[in-house]
Each structure stands twice: as C-alpha cells, then as structure tokens.
C-alpha cells in the first residue's frame, strides 16, 4: 500500500464555487488539495499545484483556471495536477513563498522546484514550465531565513 492510497479522499468542490474553479476538478481532473493532503499527493514525480483565490478579489484567478488545464495538456504525462481552492489556498501557500496571486508551483518528489506567479503570456508559461521540469528541487523562498549569529562570525552585531 502506498502513502498516496492511505490519504483521505479529497473533498468535492464547494457548490458555491465559481464554475471555472469547479471545472478544474470536475472536468479537468485536478485533485483538490489542502495543507494536510498535499504531501501524500506530491510524494512521487512532478506535480503542478494551482493556487486559486477568490475571483472577486483576484479576477486573474479565473484566467488561470482556464490556462492551467492547457498547461497540463501541453505537458501531459510529465506531471500530475492538484488545486488549492480559495477556501484553503492561503493557508497552504505560506509554504511556497510566491509573490503574486494566482500562482502555479512545481514540486518534484514532494520537494519545491519553483513557482510561476501572476499571469504570463502563453510562450512564457511553456518556457518556464520546461525549465521547472528540468530543474532540481531547492529550498522554497518562504522556508526559513539565513541568520548569522554574532558568535559564529565574531561580530557583536552592532557594526563593530
């Protein structure tokens, strides 16, 4: 039995969710995720995570709901797709450190590879996705901040 099969089944999209966001799950097969299910889902291979927001706050969310399935088709067989719907997206997003909404995040074997935040031209999506699929995992921008202690560098930290 794999770790993926032991995870609870994903919840269906909320009935009051915008139809384009619902279709990510119901028509295009994106797996709805939350902070508790993403690790098991992303454990093997490349994964494209779509971070949505309330389309009344971020109208670009609806654009990405149309673009993301096209990206998935362009890279069919290269990655699995998951979506964080607006109700859980902000809580999960803090792990990945992207700067603008909506966003795409690519993971490899559960580890962060990179993000494409905000909207792009189609050719930019293709180029950035190719680069992310070829890249090795790295530390997500939001995971920790490098700190040098005064003892480690021989400084009092006061400019002396």
What is the model's pLDDT at position 157?
A: 37
Q: What is the pLDDT of residues 38-93, one digit of tens each?
A: 999 999 999 999 999 999 999 999 999 999 999 999 999 999 999 999 999 999 99
Q: pLDDT-derived band of residue 159, with 50, 70 and 90 as boundaries?
A: very low
- Annotate 60-102 with three-state secondary structure: HHHHHHHHHHHHHHHCCCCCEEEEECHHHHHHHHCCCCCCCCC
**Eight-state DSSP code of residue 30:** P
Report CA dihedral (13, 102, 69, 116) to the nearest 10 degrees. -140
- The residue-averaged pLDDT of 94-113 equals 94
Q: Cβ(115)–Cβ(98) under 8 Å?
A: yes
112 torsion bin: left (phi>0), alpha (psi -120 to 50), beta (else)? beta
Residue 101, pLDDT > 70, answer: yes
* Fold adopted by 11-153: Glutaredoxin (3.40.30)
**Eight-state DSSP code of residue 157:** S
Q: What is the pLDDT of residues 122-155, one digit of tens each?
A: 999 999 999 999 999 999 986 555 454 444 444 4
- Residue 122, C-beta contacts closer than 8 angstroms, at least 6 positions apart: 67, 70
What is the model's pLDDT at position 70?
A: 98
Higher-pLDDT residue of 12, 81: 81
Other CB atoms closer than 10 Å to residue 130's CB: what's the count? 13
What is the model's pLDDT at position 15?
A: 62
pTM score: 0.80
- Residue 61, C-beta contacts closer than 8 angstroms, at least 6 positions apart: 21, 52, 53, 54, 55, 86, 101, 102
> Rounded distance, CA 51 to CA 71, Å?
14
Q: pLDDT-derived band of residue 3, with 50, 70 and 90 as boundaries?
A: very low
**Eight-state DSSP code of residue 6:** H
Domain boundaries, the chain: 11-153
What is the model's pLDDT at position 13?
A: 59
């Amino acid at each position: 039995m794999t770790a993926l099969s032991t995870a609870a089944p994903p919840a269906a999209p909320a009935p009051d969710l915008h139809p384009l966001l619902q279709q990510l799950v119901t028509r295009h097969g994106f797996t709805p995720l939350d902070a508790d299910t993403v690790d098991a889902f992303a454990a093997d291979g490349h994964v494209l995570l779509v971070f949505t927001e309330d389309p009344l706050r971020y109208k670009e969310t609806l654009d990405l709901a149309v673009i993301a399935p096209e990206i998935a088709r362009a890279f069919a067989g290269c990655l699995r797709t998951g979506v964080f719907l607006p109700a859980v997206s902000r809580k999960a997003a803090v792990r990945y450190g992207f700067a603008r909404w909506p966003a795409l995040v690519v993971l490899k074997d559960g580890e962060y590879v990179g993000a494409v935040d905000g909207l792009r031209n189609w050719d930019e999506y293709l180029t950035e996705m190719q680069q992310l699929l070829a890249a090795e995992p790295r530390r997500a921008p939001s995971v920790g901040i490098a700190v040098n202690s005064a003892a480690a560098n021989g400084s009092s930290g006061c400019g002396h």
